[in-house]
Amino acid sequence: MRHLSLIAGLVLIAGAVQAQQLDWWQTGVIYQIYPRSYKDSNGDGIGDINGIISKLDYIASLGVAAIWLSPIYKSPMADFGYDISDFRDIDPLFGTLDDFKLLVAEAKSRNLGIIMDMVPNHSSDEHEWFVKSEQKIEPYTDYYFWQPAKGFDPNGAPIPPNNWLSVFGGSAWAWSELRQEFYLHQFHAKQPDFNYRNPAIVQELKDILTFWYDLGVYGFRWDAVTHMFEDPALPDEPVSGNPVDPNDYNYLKHIYTQNLPETPYTLSLYKAHTDEYSLNAGDGLHRVMMLEVWNPIEEVMQYYRNVSDFPFNFRFLTTMGAYSNGRDAENAIRGWVDNIPDNGWPNWVLGNHDISRVGSRLQLTDGAILTTLLLPGTSINYYGEELGMVDTYIPPEEVVDPAGYRDPPRTPMQWDDSQFAGFTTGPKPWLRVNDNYLTVNVAAEEAADESVLKIFRKLVALRKEPAIQFGTLHTTVVSYELVLAYAREAVNATDRSYMVVLNWSHDQTHVVNLSPGAFGAFPFEITNPTVEIRTIGSDIPYDNFDPSAFTLKPRAGCVVSFNAVRK
Ligand SMILES: *[C@@H]1O[C@H](CO)[C@@H](O)[C@H](O)[C@H]1NC(C)=O
Ligand SMILES: *[C@@H]1O[C@H](CO)[C@@H](O)[C@H](O)[C@H]1NC(C)=O
Ligand SMILES: *[C@@H]1O[C@H](CO)[C@@H](O)[C@H](O)[C@H]1NC(C)=O
Ligand SMILES: CC(=O)N[C@H]1CO[C@H](CO)[C@@H](O)[C@@H]1O
Ligand SMILES: [Ca+2]
Ligand SMILES: [Ca+2]
């Protein structure tokens, strides 16, 4: 049994523990929308801003605090919007800047913030800066990573400066006939890398942040920041020993092009800029900075402190699978909360646009949201998680993702049982709709007695409880490592405490005893228990809940409120 006091939110005054006010981004749930797939307003088969506006009442009904939008900037779409040609405009596929302003205003009137995506390592080659940089027009000459050829081969072809490879395969260097130099592209050749050693580019990005803050944006999620810096001495990278083609990215060990120590420092400049903006705005709104960092946990933790409000916690994505048990779930939780630096705020991510949906990956959705939404910290939830949407099989001839594997979690939101799940009125959505839309959809789940949607809403509402905001976290694993139970023990004994119990087993039923003295018990007596939420089909009786003997079917779980009595 392990315990954690969330000191971050508490101050000890004259022996009495008092709750500090937590901020919107800490108590709230952040709802990620992949805009192409949420709601199409004009029948072209692609989701857009007006579509999102038309669904704001639904989003507000979930109780979430903010919407994070995957990129909607102007882009030639060589990489679905991650190749930006104007950081201050909206792509016409999604609408106009005026549509965006309306979205911000309409969201705000429903108490919802809008969070934008920042893609810092490169722009599109069609960006005005790159076009001018290629012509050496000041001040753009050194905005990108230019290098002369190392020499010329016998046929007169330029030889790249070193052996660096692009994430998409092949040399990371592309030759510009015009400038007679190579530029670096860690991703697509249409995505030239910025030169972050040039203070002018650092300033440009600050100005872009200011532009969007002025439009009322509540913060940014920064895309995989690992590729921001490269070693300026341009050493060849060593061979990794992986049995892959020499043109494959994994052929080399990326010690000179990933996770350079300059990255957290540069990000801290943006964090300082953001905090300064909030201070000067004088509106009391904390603008949030969330980072995507896929590194080992010790490295990820370096991105707290003055670098961001939090780096995303991907433990449930990277350490858990369909056959993970209660112990694995406990490890995923403790691995984060026990490693977090002082004053660091935890967060929980179950899925996103780059990875198999949680309903497919862990083969459960209601149990997964039950497990993460009542933990201390911010919850980030991908659209459709609140319905139990799963990955969609895409036949090879319909694959559109340039990387080839990211279509299944990106299929259209399932609104109702009409054609294309109500996503579009046009003849064809950009990606097919999951066949299960007849039953897995918003309308059906609103109507059902029990549904993932209803569970999600109740969980979000419970996050307002003092015990969920400030309570001590206790975790335990019982029943042969199969059952994870955790409690949020209220700081004030008069407040209700909460317990979440989930049976991770696929095929066995156990009887659990969580009363004091029993194996794995909590250090308090559980009195007046009430079942608040149960997973679908679990048949856990709402009445007469006995914490000393209760049975959970395979994959079943519940949330129980109670009064904790310390002996
Ligand atoms: C506990 O109760 C006191 C007195 O009502 C209150 O001031 C304090 O904020 C509460 N603490 C928490 C963590 O809820
Ligand atoms: C952030 O903290 C690091 C380490 O203490 C420090 O070197 C850096 O200057 C800080 N960044 C800012 C913008 O103050
Ligand atoms: C969870 O389900 C498994 C598989 O059916 C079963 O063996 C175990 O007893 C159940 N655990 C609880 C606490 O009911
Ligand atoms: C730091 C950064 O922006 N990384 C991104 C670079 O571009 C690729 C491809 O668009 C993204 O996947 C990375 O996250
Ligand atoms: Ca559209
Ligand atoms: Ca870079």
**pLDDT band at residue 395, thresholds of 50, 70 and 90?**
very high
pLDDT score at 549: 81
Residue 13 lies in a domain: no
Ligand 3 contact, 225 CB (< 6 A): no
pLDDT tens track for 462-475: 999 999 999 999 99
CB 115 within 8 A of CB 149: no
The mean pLDDT value for 261-285 works out to 96
Total number of domains constituting the chain: 3
- Among the listed residues 292, 309, 445, 489, the single catalytic one is 292
Whether residues 398 and 292 fall in one domain? yes
The mean pLDDT value for 364-389 works out to 97
Whether residues 426 and 484 fall in one domain? no
Q: Which has the higher per-residue pLDDT, 78 or 34? A: 34
Residue span of the structural domain in which 136 resides: 120-195+230-260
Ligand 3 contact, 513 CB (< 6 A): no
Whether residues 279 and 330 fall in one domain? yes
Whether residues 306 and 402 fall in one domain? yes
pLDDT score at 567: 73
The mean pLDDT value for 41-48 works out to 98
Residue 12 lies in a domain: no
- 292 has catalytic annotation: yes
CB 475 within 8 A of CB 336: no
Whether residues 318 and 308 fall in one domain? yes
pLDDT score at 64: 98
Ligand 2 contact, 269 CB (< 6 A): yes
Ligand nearest to the CA of 172: 6
Residue 39 lies in a domain: yes
CB 25 within 8 A of CB 309: yes
* Three-state DSSP class for residue 90: strand
Q: Which residues contact 159 (CB under 8 A, 6 or more apart)?
A: 149, 150, 151, 152, 153
For residue 363, how many other CB atoms are within 10 A of its CB? 16
Last residue of a domain, one of 434, 458, 482: 458
Q: For ligand 3, atom 9, which residue shows the shortest CA distance?
A: 510
**pLDDT band at residue 545, thresholds of 50, 70 and 90?**
confident
Q: Which has the higher per-residue pLDDT, 565 or 550? A: 565
Would you give the distance in Å from CA 118 to the centre of its chain? 13
How big is the chain, counted in residues? 567
Residue 510 lies in a domain: yes
Ligand 3 contact, 521 CB (< 6 A): no
How many Å apart are CA 93 and CA 84, to the nearest integer? 13
Atom of ligand 3 nearest to the CA of 554: 2
The mean pLDDT value for 42-46 works out to 98
Whether residues 54 and 184 fall in one domain? no
Whether residues 254 and 331 fall in one domain? no
Whether residues 439 and 400 fall in one domain? yes
pLDDT score at 506: 84
Q: Is 446 exposed, middle or buried (0-12, 13-18, 19+ CB in 10 A)?
A: middle
pLDDT score at 2: 52
How many Å apart are CA 7 and CA 28, to the nearest integer? 19
The mean pLDDT value for 474-492 works out to 90
Residue 178 lies in a domain: yes
Q: Which has the higher per-residue pLDDT, 512 or 235? A: 235
How many Å apart are CA 381 and CA 387, to the nearest integer? 11
Find the CATH number of the domain harbouring 153: 3.90.400.10
| Residue 156 in this model has a pLDDT that exceeds 90 | yes
pLDDT tens track for 88-120: 999 999 999 999 999 999 999 999 999 999 988
Ligand nearest to the CA of 50: 5
Q: For ligand 1, atom 13, which residue shows the shortest CA distance?
A: 19
Residue 484 lies in a domain: yes
- 223 has catalytic annotation: yes
What's the distance, Cα to Cα, between the start and end of the chain in Å? 17
Last residue of a domain, one of 397, 428, 458: 458
Q: For ligand 4, atom 6, which residue shows the shortest CA distance?
A: 121
Phi, psi of 537, deg, nearest 5: 80, 5
Find the CATH number of the domain harbouring 551: 2.60.40.1180
pLDDT score at 5: 45
- Among the listed residues 126, 223, 262, 495, the single catalytic one is 223
Which one-letter DSSP state was computed for residue 193? Answer: B
pLDDT tens track for 300-351: 999 999 999 999 999 999 999 999 999 999 999 999 999 999 989 999 999 9
Q: Which has the higher per-residue pLDDT, 368 or 13? A: 368
Substitution candidate for ligand 3 out of 509, 514, 519 with most atoms within 8 A of CB: 509
pLDDT tens track for 168-185: 899 999 999 999 999 999
Helix (DSSP H) and strand (DSSP E) numbers for the chain: 15, 25
Atom of ligand 3 nearest to the CA of 478: 13
Find the CATH number of the domain harbouring 280: 3.20.20.80
Ligand 1 contact, 470 CB (< 6 A): yes
**pLDDT band at residue 42, thresholds of 50, 70 and 90?**
very high
HSE-CB of 70 using CA atoms within 13 angstroms: 22
Whether residues 44 and 79 fall in one domain? yes
Residue 209 lies in a domain: no
pLDDT score at 363: 94
How many Å apart are CA 221 and CA 234, to the nearest integer? 30
| Residue 136 in this model has a pLDDT that exceeds 70 | yes
Residue 203 lies in a domain: no
Q: For ligand 1, atom 3, which residue shows the shortest CA distance?
A: 18
pLDDT score at 519: 64
Whether residues 336 and 429 fall in one domain? yes
How many Å apart are CA 563 and CA 567, to the nearest integer? 13
Whether residues 453 and 512 fall in one domain? no
pLDDT tens track for 193-206: 999 999 999 999 99
Tell me the pTM: 0.93
| Residue 287 in this model has a pLDDT that exceeds 80 | yes
CB 118 within 8 A of CB 82: no
pLDDT tens track for 448-463: 999 999 999 999 999 9
Last residue of a domain, one of 260, 278, 311: 260
The mean pLDDT value for 242-247 works out to 95
The mean pLDDT value for 146-170 works out to 96
pLDDT score at 142: 97
pLDDT score at 518: 66
pLDDT score at 13: 37
Whether residues 153 and 238 fall in one domain? yes
pLDDT score at 511: 63
CB 557 within 8 A of CB 500: yes
Which amino acid, residue 532? E
